[in-house]
Amino acid sequence: MSTAFHLAIPVDDLDAARRFYGELIGCPRGREADTWVDWDLGGHQLVTHLAPGGRGDAAVNAVDGHGVPVPHFGLVLDVPDFQALAGRLRAAGTEFVIEPHVRFPGQPGEQWTMFLRDPAGNALEFKAFADRDQLFAR
């Protein structure tokens, strides 16, 4: 059985979502209507729903010395794709919640990670493993 997740998130500006998810992140756009847009986020369906009023502040959990925003979602990428995305985000002047860096160096689960927010304030994490088998390592 093939599976993919479906995630619907609130945004307060669909044009900003189109620029961010489509142009900056590079997600192919799917179906859309006046109040929502479907995105292909690494083979998964992300739907940005127009919901004026914003999300408010998220909680944070301490992980490896950083305040990780909760809730958040994102993708596990290959290292070259992670580095390319980090470069595009930096070039666009993105303000990172947590700058791209290596988390858990020399430990099980060593990974590149970065956190940022979309224009509506939704927290995103992108990560990459030199060895994808470390994704669930303990």
Alpha-carbon torsion angle 119, 120, 123, 128, nearest 10:
-40
* Residue 45 sits in the same domain as residue 64: no
* Residue 118 sits in the same domain as residue 93: yes
The pTM is what? Answer: 0.88
* Residue 82 sits in the same domain as residue 24: no
* Residue 44 sits in the same domain as residue 22: yes
Any alpha helices (H) in the chain, and if so which ranges? 14-17, 79-91
Q: Which residue range forms the structural domain that includes residue 18?
A: 6-50
Residue 71 placed within a domain: yes
* Residue 39 sits in the same domain as residue 72: no
CATH code for the domain of 21: 3.30.720.120
Residue 11: both structure tokens together: 């945004």
The full DSSP string for 108-126 is: TT-EEEEEEE-TT--EEEE
Residue 103: pLDDT over 70: yes
* Residue 41 sits in the same domain as residue 67: no
Residue 1 placed within a domain: no
Q: Considering its fold, how many domains does the chain have in total? A: 2
Residue 114 placed within a domain: yes
* Residue 34 sits in the same domain as residue 74: no
DSSP designation for 42: T
Lowest mean pLDDT among 2-11, 81-90, 95-104: 2-11
* Residue 68 sits in the same domain as residue 40: no
pLDDT, residue 138, reads: 83
**pLDDT average, residue stretch 95-117:** 96
Residue 84: both structure tokens together: 């390319």
